Amino acid sequence: MELEGKIALVTGASRGMGRAIALKLASLGSKVAVNYVNIEAGNEADADDVVETIIHGKGEALKIEADVRNGEAVKAMMGQIVTQWGRIDILVNNAGITRDNLLLRMSEDAWDDVMATNLRSAYLCTKFALRPMVKQRWGRIISVASIAGLMGNAGQTNYAASKAGLIAFTKSVAREMGSRNITANAVAPGFIKTRMTENLSDEVKKSILSMISLSRFGEPEDVAELVAFLASDRASYITGQVVCIDGGVSM
């Protein structure tokens, strides 16, 4: 229970990697705020399921609906967590979307939506989470980037740009906050089994697998294990880093 007594917030925690991260942190003793936004059918039910799973495992969780692209909503969410539990120790910036298209066909809305959800949300959540972290002189900021932010990806100029921005943002936060005993790191997943990858055709899946040294897609739990390590005291001397977890795509 190496995270016992810690308070964590995971954004976009109702599904996929966010769900796996929330469950992993809870299994290590952290109280977890499960953030979701109710703009897609099933999101609230999925968030309820995450909370119920944590409670069933003798953990403690709090469901919070908040649009992390909105500053007032994020401020209110942080206030709710501090009121409920007294502090925030771990922030996992996981919320993210894709709006894929070739650049010549990409709409301004598709660009703006991805930037707001993937990058602006991290700015807002980190800004408001840092206030209690600075006071307590301890904190972990972990952002879920992507290998697309390091390598680029055709058809994902918006997504890749948002994740590259998230990496630079993380490195800058690490430089600003190191003296306060607050670390900031990013994880860069490759192709992970989520609802997005489930919708790929067999032909596309075969093509992707040919690029992966381990010849398989990753599991959300693989990412969760890495996030949990970075959140722990075992990673106390690691900051400003980007850790790829991609089965060997980016070697």
Catalytic: which of 36, 123, 159, 237?
159
As given in the structure block, the two tokens for residue 26 are 């809870």
Active site residue 237: no
Q: Which residues are catalytic?
A: 159
